[in-house]
Structure 1
């Protein structure tokens, strides 16, 4: 193949391959759906022998060398028929396929859709090898019990991946300047320390939040300490991390709180409060856990876009 002419030098006179190669370059070789809700596979509104693919768009990378990449959009729901099973259960793979006759198949672009939803029937439960020689992206796996004609949500496994997921990361630090003991009654959750609280703008596209909070230089004194610490985003609490210290003298330690939380649709595009909480349990120790001068609290939160 010879060196191709650069784009935008011959007016609109460019080959289809040149456009596909430009799409491939702009997508950096990645493929998948464009947005978190795009091309989601669901049961029919009245469950029956088929599924519906929601609206949205996708990037599909060509399976052949220098084929380039395709864009495909679906406006509104598209119904895909799923044949019923007989006495044996079956697993099907639903894909968005491009069958460009320049590279594969014999479809006529003047009369037929070269981009279409394609059901690959009777594959292995984890098999995707059928896609290796096919210009296509997987949308869902449909696992159908024997003697079944109605597709329900429990049979559909979402296989979509975002072509270019967005991520927004925020780093914050605070340095307490006064001594602050655990507030309130021990044995129940309370916000602490007071400086470890932030109001965060949740991106409208975020589906997950990975939150890491590090408290360095925590001070324990006057006996052993047992406490659980966690983060809370809005009304969603992360899994707790334990501080278990059976010392007796004044000592310093560090603790890291980390978890990944699903971002509810109602949180997207809003401002939510993020805080650290503690639950000190006196049954396992009666010492004091404090933040003081020399304590550093670091927040690292990454909002990420994914299929929803």
Structure 2
């Protein structure tokens, strides 16, 4: 029989360690890393010195060997990790969360020793982003000290954390304006337009990034050349401008404009509803024409929220 029997699911079963690890691996869907965006963040000491602190949080760590399974580790409160200073030469270290299971590596005794611990690998390459082959662990941060340094500052710390299973949520909304609409006459200023390109959207409590793609097809241009900028707004945030620059004369024509932006979601936006819309700045100094929505204009919002370490 080669099946590893599942523990804790039948009366009288003994919880075999390997079976538990394989269950963790399955429940984590094969991912490894921190559990939530703010977990296990590496920061300088409150008073910078020869060490760093690792914040609260949890992680899933996959074993380096086939069918070893995965381990969970939780840190409650800040943990200090000492980082030796440098002498006449600079040095780069890698801080990892390591698991040393004596069934596979090392000689730690789980009855007396911590099999999971924060470990500093000194003198690694300056571009190191992963643990060495054969080591069960996940990288948390790279620490680069100049020569003759004894205190770690935030500028020396490079965050290497990754989420074990980052969440995403994508929503698509399509709009057909009900009537023709010209931008307000206050040219040279950003104004909300088109009015139908508007949406109060719920932001997931876990979201740290928002990718917004707005496509406006069939916008009408006539009456001469048109120069206008359009930009995405999310709450009080706004994206970079997209430009309509058209000088084809007075003949009526149609155009497609795409706005594409990536926003960092502020902490106070998470779990709230925020207004998502479009602003337009048409400048008639560069052309006397008109930009308008009309019959056949379509507007599509494609919004994806995602989760990443913070």
How far apart are the structure 2 equivalents of 1:284 and 1:141? 51
Counterpart of 1:126 in structure 2 is 127
How far apart are the structure 1 equivalents of 2:133 and 2:243? 46
The alpha carbon displacement at 1:10 in A equals: 5.0
Counterpart of 2:283 in structure 1 is 281
Counterpart of 1:2 in structure 2 is 2
The alpha carbon displacement at 1:128 in A equals: 3.8
1:47 aligned counterpart, secondary structure: strand
The alpha carbon displacement at 1:129 in A equals: 5.7
The alpha carbon displacement at 1:130 in A equals: 4.3
Normalising by the residue count of structure 1, what TM-score does the alignment of the two structures yield?
0.97
Counterpart of 1:307 in structure 2 is 309
How far apart are the structure 1 equivalents of 2:23 and 2:41? 27
Aligned positions of 1:19-58 closer than 5 A: 19-58=20-59
Deviations 1:174-200 (A, max 9, x none): 111211111132111111100111111
Asked if the contact 2:96–2:131 (Cα under 8 Å) also holds between the matched residues in 1, the reply is no
Asked if the contact 1:184–1:190 (Cα under 8 Å) also holds between the matched residues in 2, the reply is no
How far apart are the structure 2 equivalents of 1:81 and 1:12? 43
Normalising by the residue count of structure 2, what TM-score does the alignment of the two structures yield?
0.96
How far apart are the structure 1 equivalents of 2:273 and 2:40? 28
Aligned positions of 1:180-259 closer than 5 A: 180-248=181-249, 249-259=251-261
1:179 aligned counterpart, secondary structure: coil
Structure 1: give runs of 5+ residues left out of the alignment: none
Structure 2: give runs of 5+ residues left out of the alignment: none
The alpha carbon displacement at 1:283 in A equals: 3.0
Could you say what the CA RMSD is over the residues aligned between the two structures, in angstroms? Answer: 1.2
Aligned positions of 1:120-199 closer than 5 A: 120-128=121-129, 130-199=131-200
Counterpart of 2:273 in structure 1 is 271
How far apart are the structure 2 equivalents of 1:272 and 1:12? 51
Deviations 1:15-58 (A, max 9, x none): 10000011111112110000000000011111111100000000
